[in-house]
Structure formats: structure tokens, C-alpha cells
């Protein structure tokens, strides 16, 4: 059967980027087995032929009602699918779904009836937020960055502001590429809708959200940007841990130095 990507170069380019990111996640050890997932709003690339495509699945519930998603289309990594397989062929490890008019359910239209990630409710809630605020964010990424997850096992690092300030102070680029920092959501059952509200409350304020003892969530205009924000914050965590492994507490840049960087590069104020 012909793939939905055939003769749709713009759509293929979006999913090629998703495949590239998936490969990076596997190489970094952030996507063990079927760990992590991603969702991308592809509505702008949907043509009339795609809109006319019949469903290849039954109607499936999202678990929440998301009014801004009516008629939208998303590429979603499949439940139980591996990032390393997505890196080779995104349509063998994911599917394209159409949100129905009730804004509370969806159906799969291509290529195979691969049910999306079990964390779809939180991903689509973030997509609903992005459309509602008009910020242009199209991609959501959940992964398991080793050092950031490790830090979330200590109560010291469950304070969003404290964690953000320490990570910013490790290397100037952290502030440059993640100027809003990282927020922390207390532990909740993975895949549960209990993660939706606290994640939404923090994603408005921070670049990346860390789910305690689990992983991170990032939302950005492009999947590569969501990866980059996560990567730069985890690099800062790695620098901190490396210094501790050498037997000393890293000084970090002073608050004055951090503010100097923010001013020099005209970075947005931390809200």
C-alpha cells in the first residue's frame, strides 16, 4: 500500500525531522525500549485528498475534551513502539490521526492502525494550549533524559526555581537556549490524565517540564527545537553531576553573570 507520505514532500520533511530526533534520543539512551513519545501537528500539510481519507480504525477517546483541536491532524508515535524503529521509518512506528468534531475523540487515517502513545491526552492538551495561545508551537516531545530524571529523585531538585537557577548557572548556553528554565511536576502515574493539569500550568511559564522520577516534556514550533531545549538543560545537569563526581560542588555563574547574559542577548524575562 502506498504511504501517505508519497508525493507529499512537505509532510515527509516534517516526519523526517521526527525520525532524526528519534535517532538522537535512542543514541543518547533517553529512549529505552518503547520509552518516550512525540506528537506533531501536521494540519497545515493536509490536503483535500487526506481530508477525504476514510478512517482505518474505530473511533477512539482522547480522555479529555480539547476544543481547539476540532478537525486537526497529528502524527503520533505509536503505543509500544520504539524510537529506534521510528528513526528508520516513522510510519512503521506511528500513525496520522484526525480529531473529530466532538473534540474528545479521534480516528486513525494512515498508514496503519497503530494506536498512539498512551500519553496522548497530555500531548494533545499541550497542542490545544498551543493553538489557543497562538504561539505557533507544533511539536511535543516526551523523553527520559538520564541526568534530569536522576536529579528528580532528590527533594532538593523538586523546586522549579531552584533547579532552574542552578542549571542556568552551569554554562551560558543553557540560559541562551532555555531562557524560561524548567518546571517540575510532582510524581503521577505515567499516562494518566492526572499529569495534564499540572503540566499545562507549568508549560506556560517554563521551556521544559520535568515529570518527577519519569522524564521531560517540551513543546516548540519544531520537533528539533523541542529536542534542543531538552538537550541543553540536560547538558547543564550533566555538568553539575560531573563536578559532584569530581568531589566538589560547582560554583556556577553568579546571578549577576546570568543577568548580564540575559541582557546581552536580549533574552525574555523569566516569568
β-pairing, 208-211 vs 182-185, is parallel
The angle, 0 to 180 degrees and rounded to 10, between the axes of the packed helices 120-133 and 196-203 is: 40
Q: Which residues are designated catalytic?
A: 119
**120-131 burial code (b ≥16 CB/10 A, e <16):** bbbbbbbbbbbb
With vertex at residue 186, the alpha carbon angle to CA 206 and CA 232, rounded to the nearest 5 degrees, is 40
Check: CB of residue 240 under 8 Å from CB of residue 158: no
What single-letter DSSP state applies at residue 270?
Answer: P
Other C-beta atoms lying within 10 Å of the C-beta of residue 207: 23
With vertex at residue 32, the alpha carbon angle to CA 28 and CA 38, rounded to the nearest 5 degrees, is 80
Query: Residue 53 burial by CB count (10 A; 0-12/13-18/19+): exposed, middle or buried?
Result: middle
The length of the chain is 271
Amino acid at each position: 500500500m502506498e504511504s501517505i507520505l508519497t508525493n507529499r514532500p512537505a509532510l515527509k520533511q516534517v516526519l523526517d525531522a521526527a525520525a532524526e530526533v528519534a535517532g538522537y534520543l535512542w543514541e543518547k539512551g533517553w529512549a529505552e525500549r518503547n520509552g518516550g513519545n512525540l506528537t506533531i501537528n501536521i494540519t497545515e500539510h493536509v490536503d483535500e485528498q487526506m481530508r477525504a481519507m476514510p478512517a482505518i480504525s474505530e473511533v477512539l477517546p482522547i480522555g479529555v475534551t480539547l476544543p481547539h483541536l476540532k478537525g486537526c491532524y497529528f502524527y503520533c508515535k505509536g503505543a509500544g513502539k520504539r524510537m529506534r524503529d521510528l528513526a528508520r521509518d516513522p510510519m512503521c512506528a506511528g500513525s496520522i490521526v484526525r480529531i473529530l468534531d466532538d473534540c474528545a475523540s479521534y480516528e486513525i487515517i494512515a498508514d496503519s492502525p497503530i494506536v498512539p502513545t498512551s500519553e496522548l491526552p497530555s500531548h494533545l492538551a499541550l497542542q490545544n494550549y498551543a493553538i489557543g495561545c497562538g504561539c505557533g508551537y507544533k511539536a511535543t516531545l516526551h523523553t527520559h533524559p538520564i541526568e534530569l530524571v536522576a536529579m528528580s529523585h532528590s527533594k532538593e531538585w523538586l523546586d522549579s526555581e531552584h533547579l532552574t537557577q542552578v542549571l542556568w548557572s552551569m554554562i551560558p548556553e543553557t540560559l541562551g537556549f532555555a531562557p524560561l528554565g524548567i518546571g517540575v511536576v510532582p510524581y503521577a502515574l505515567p499516562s494518566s490524565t492526572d499529569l495534564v493539569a499540572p503540566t499545562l500550568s507549568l508549560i506556560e511559564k517554563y521551556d521544559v517540564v520535568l515529570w518527577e522520577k519519569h522524564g521531560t516534556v517540551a513543546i516548540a514550533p519544531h520537533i528539533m527545537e523541542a529536542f534542543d531545549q531538552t538537550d541543553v538543560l540536560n547538558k547543564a545537569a550533566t555538568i553539575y553531576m560531573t563536578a559532584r563526581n569530581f568531589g566538589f560542588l560547582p560554583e556556577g555563574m553568579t546571578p549577576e553573570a546570568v543577568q548580564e547574559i540575559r541582557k546581552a542577548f536580549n533574552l525574555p524575562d523569566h516569568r
